[in-house]
Amino acid sequence: MNENERNDLQTTITHALQEMKAEAGDSFDITKVNLAELERRTGISRKRLRKLKKDGFVVKPHGLSGRKKEKTVLTGFEGVIDGLLQKGVTNSSVIKERLDENGYQGSLTPIKTYVSSHMDLVPAKRQLVAPQGNRGRRYTSGPGESFQMDWGFVTVEQDSGSTYRVACFAMICHHCGERYVEFFPNAKQENLFIGMLHAFLKMGVPEHVLTDNMKSVTTGRDSEGHPIWNNEYAGFMSAVGFETRLCKPRHPFTKGAVERLVRFVKNNFLAGRTFGSITDLNYEAWRWCDRQNSLYHDGVYCIPHEEHQERCLLSGAVPLDMDSAVRLYLWPERRISFDGFINYEGRRFGVPYSYTGKACRVSRQEFTLYIYTPDLKRKLAEHNVTWSRHDSFCKDQYAVKQPEEFPTAPVSTVIRQSSPPPSADSFDHFNFDKEVEW
């Protein structure tokens, strides 16, 4: 019985006793209360009323209340939870996922109780300023009509203590909430194109994409406020077949759906996560997206994956036509250096010596990096993507027969090389066939 239940029970008994005292007058004696009448008024069993009568009808807590077990289902996992709380992770579902990876067998309720009683470990949030201006107005879009995209950035800590930054590409269907997330070493324009094409392959091509004024998309606006498209991005829009709409500068909540998705990825998927490589991280991110897309979401009143398959792909978004012009965006062009390497995602990969061209195209697919000719008709090399900073050489990267110099005049200088001194073998004294010296 908790404190609220005790208070309710005490109120009921006190009210009944006051009624009985008002009816009996001065002859009322609490030690001689008719328990049968009190049972009728309160609905409490006579057995329990006898126990309460010994305490003067004062409801006291149970003798074992407040005691805690020495070992609980969370014993041994407190350090993991405390570490997540100190990083600002307070979502019990996220904490349970991390504990399940470490062998946790309990339910969600003990985690919620632990988190609520250890909120002092959570770092203080930054002070929010008061909202300015008038209120915004929410808007809706039809099935497959509008997608929203944005970049998010995360700092990665290595075992050596150094840090680097990775970029998170996020795209979401504004109608149903179907989402796509992919991580890249950087947020260059070529990675933007690759991320968008991967999302279009899974979600279809919408009528337009809503994004902010990133440099990869626009170079500015003209005197009338119309966007001036980046030349490469304008060609990409024409090849794929969609339009782009830009948010008002410094007005991010126009595309609030993808802004919320980026925050959800950071607070839910990335919270307390450890990964081996960006390829592994992407596999985990895609599984996470599939799991989230198959859950019911109150914000859109549907299951995103079902709604997207039944309505968005049938009435709005169209399948991506992967023709030769579009395929080139998945294979960025690279210049070959004088020593036979191309640079991709901050690492160098070798190209065979037999290829005499100065440029090639490259694509990372899962754990393999492929290098092709500019027309994508011949494969030059393939490398295992280890994400190591060391150069990756390929077979026949350098000529087998290299120039060798020979003397042009008789060699008259002679030097002598002595034989190396014999080394004492520690097993010689076990050689019984050897003649013994006396």
Give the CA dihedral 301, 307, 313, 315, nearest 10 degrees: -60
Name, in order, each residue with C-beta under 8 angstroms of 326's C-beta and a sequence gap of 6 or more.
Answer: 197, 239, 240, 320
Q: Are residues 292 and 344 part of one domain?
A: no
- Does a structural domain hold residue 85? yes
Q: How far apart are CA 297 and CA 312, in angstroms?
A: 16
Question: Residue 436 pLDDT more than 80?
Answer: no
- On the question of pLDDT at 435 being above 60, the answer is no
Q: Classify residue 433: in a domain, yes or no.
A: no
Structure tokens belonging to residue 334: 């690279």
| Cα gap 27→34, rounded to integer Å | 13
Please state, as a whole number, how many other Cβ atoms lie within 10 Å of the Cβ of residue 306. 14
Whether residue 429 has pLDDT greater than 70? no
Q: What confidence tens digit (pLDDT) does each residue in 192-239 have?
A: 999 999 999 999 999 999 999 999 999 988 888 889 999 999 999 999
pLDDT single digits (tens) 261-282: 999 999 899 988 888 888 899 9
Residue 425 forms part of a structural domain? no
Q: Determine the pLDDT at residue 148.
A: 94
Question: What tokens does 15 get?
Answer: 């009210």
- Residue in this structure with the two tokens 């690759």, named with its chain if needed: 194
Quote the crossing angle between the two packed helices 92-101 and 78-86, to the nearest 10°. 130
Residues 14 and 82 in one domain: no
Residues 271 and 171 in one domain: yes
Are residue 184 and residue 278 in the same domain, yes or no? yes
The domain total for the chain is 4
Helices (H), 182-277: 189-203, 231-240, 256-264
Would you state the pLDDT for residue 123?
Answer: 85
What per-residue confidence (pLDDT) applies to 372?
A: 95
Same domain, yes or no: 81 and 189: no
Average pLDDT rounded to a whole number, residues 285-296: 93
Question: Which among 24, 102, 418 is positioned nearest to 111, based on CA atoms?
Answer: 102
Average pLDDT over residues 398-414: 77
For the chain, give the percent of residues with pLDDT over 70.
90
Averaged pLDDT, 406-421: 81
363 within a domain of the structure (yes/no): yes
In a domain, 438, yes or no: no
Percent of the chain with pLDDT over 90: 42
Rounded to whole angstroms, how far apart are CA atoms 95 and 77? 10
pLDDT exceeds 60 at position 144: yes
Closest Cα to residue 365, out of 336, 345, 389, 335?
A: 345
Give the residue numbers spanning the domain of 251. Answer: 146-220+227-314
Residues 46, 52, 56, 59: is their CA dihedral positive or negative? negative
On whether residue 351 sits in a domain, the answer given is: yes
**Helix, strand or coil, per DSSP, at residue 169:** strand
- Asked if 205 and 241 sit in the same domain, the reply is yes
Q: In terms of domains, do 26 and 93 share one?
A: no
The pLDDT tens digits of the residues spanning 352-391 come to: 998 989 999 999 988 899 999 999 999 999 998 877 778 8
User: 329-368 b/e with 16+ CB inside 10 Å = b?
Assistant: bbbbebebeeebbbebbebbbbbeeebeeeebbbbbeeee
User: 87-122 burial, b if ≥16 CB within 10 A, otherwise e?
Assistant: eebbebebbbbbbeeeebeeeeebbeebbeeeeeee
Rounded-to-integer distance, Cα 380 and Cα 350, Å: 10
CATH number at residue 193: 3.30.420.10
272 with 337, same domain?
Answer: no
Distances from the Cα of 422 to the Cα of 418, 419, 425, angstroms: 12, 9, 9
Indicate the helix (H) or strand (E) that contains 325. Answer: helix 324-327
Residue 228: both structure tokens together: 């001036």
* Residues forming beta bridges with residue 243, ordered by sequence position: 208
266-305 burial: b if 16+ Cβ within 10 Å, else e: eebbbbbbebeebbebbeebeebbeebbeeeeeebebbbb
Q: Is the dihedral of CA 336, 339, 343, 349 positive or negative?
A: positive
Q: Quick one: pLDDT at residue 273? A: 87
Q: Are 114 and 207 part of one and the same domain?
A: no
Tell me, yes or no, whether 275 lies in a domain. Answer: yes
**146-157: strand order across its sheet:** 179-184, 163-173, 146-157, 208-211, 243-246
Q: Tell me, what CATH number does 345's domain have?
A: 2.30.30
pLDDT score at 434: 57
Q: What are the two backbone dihedrals, phi and then psi, of residue 144, each rounded to the nearest 5 degrees?
A: 70, 10
Strands in 224-346 per DSSP E:
227-229, 243-246, 333-335, 341-344
- Based on the domain organization, do 113 and 182 belong to the same domain? no
pLDDT of 84 > 60? The answer is: yes
| Band of pLDDT at residue 402, cut at 50, 70 and 90 | low
Predicted confidence at residue 328, as pLDDT, reads 93
- Of the candidates 155, 228, 216, 212, which has an alpha carbon nearest to the alpha carbon of residue 191? 216
Specify whether the CB–CB gap between 51 and 38 falls below 8 A.
no
Kindly report the average pLDDT of the chain as a whole number: 86
Cα separation, 420 vs 423, whole angstroms: 9
The pLDDT value given to residue 254 = 83
**pLDDT (0 to 100) of residue 433:** 59
Query: 251-255, 333-337, 360-364: which has the minimum mean pLDDT?
Result: 251-255
Of 92-106, 120-134, 280-294, 338-352, where does mean pLDDT reach its minimum?
Answer: 120-134
Angle between helices 35-42 and 3-24 (to 10 degrees): 120
- Quick check: 405 and 396 in contact, CB under 8 A? no
The confidence score (pLDDT) of residue 423 equals: 61
